[in-house]
Amino acid sequence: MNYHKLKENKIAIIGLGYVGLPLAVEFAKSNFNVIGFDINSLRIEELCKGVDFTNEVSEEELHSIDSVCFTTDEKELSSANIYIVTVPTPIDQFKQPDLKPLKGASQLVGKYLSKNDVVIFESTVFPGCTEEICVPILEEYSELKYNSDFFCGYSPERINPGDKIRRVHNIVKVTSGSNEKIAELVNKLYASIVTAGTHKASSIKVAEAAKIIENTQRDLNISFVNELALIFDRMDIDTLEVLEAAGTKWNFLPFRPGLVGGHCIGVDPFYLTHKAESLGYHPQVILSGRKINDEMGVHIANKIVKLMVKEGHRVKNAKALVLGITFKENCPDIRNSKVIDVINELKEFGMSVDVFDPHADPTEVANEYDIKLTKSIEDKYDTVVLTVGHREFMDLDISALGNPNAIIYDVKSFLPKNLVTDRL
């Protein structure tokens, strides 16, 4: 490890998804020697051809960098001095942290650690996870001693999938290290690629906690407006009009109701509540907000059925079209998409549901949700439900997609109000 000349070190990025790939590219742009490692051989083949299915990095960018070695060969990791772990941290079916990818990555890195190497984690975890879970694994597999033979840092990712404005280089980066010297090293490392600046936290735990509350705060704010939507629906008041009116006050926060999915906001709060419960504290506000957000898909489907009955539609065997299955607009990420809750509930009522999404990968959707995406919209439907605000949907003639008196429901308040029957 060269502490004085950072760029003489070799960086290994473990996991080349939405977080790892853009990070690897930024380091390569700054002339670092980078190993991009992933266990998915197809992913590596595509990246070598200049193809990124996440659409986070362009073909031109991939072809323009020559200081990255994309590989599935773990032996390549032995030449690295700095390891950055960017693997997913999902939850299981019981909404508990699933640390298998993180533990696996720690085992892998531990096998190739050398004296004075630094391991930096970017994956979202609960406070204490790095030093309580990952470090013992690194020690076991490397037979080296923490903070004596090797060191750790934590710098939480802040990637916003599909966002072409906020990128790795222009989002402030929180950094931390296992001692003062390593904290400064980690901070300098990221400061070399992040033009927006860095914030050096006092400890790894503080950095972990900062990350986990970023998304928990957003989750709670959205749950508040979701609850408002549930209340105003019973009062026959348009929620968006209320929010727009309230938004004229300078300090009113502009959150909107909707489906809260994805790999971050719909997952991270459970990491925090898991840790809190292990310490004997049962979080009430956080879990209450999660409950509201998790139930919105069922509420939306039930609202659609009520509107159909009101208009005299037969619900059983009715044909429904759902526009969008990714967790957010203009990106292909389908992880933890809450659109599936709407689809499944409509099917429970006996409806035939077609799903159209120009951004989602059909194979991935089939594998994850057992749904065959509609390639083109050629049918007429009893109800059309816009669940994701993809830019392509702006060009659709929504009214032409439905049968007479079809229910058009807009989850995102994306369409002109005069074109829809109702909106969330």
- The residues assigned a catalytic role are 264
Phi, psi of 390 (to 5 degrees): -65, 145
Any idea which residue has 């085992």 for tokens? Answer: 107
Closest CA to 308 of 295, 324, 320, 296: 320
- Cβ count near 50 (within 10 Å): 14
Residues 32, 7 contacting (CB under 8 angstroms): yes
Any idea which residue has 């299955």 for tokens? Answer: 325
Rounded CA-CA distance 83/152 in Å is 9
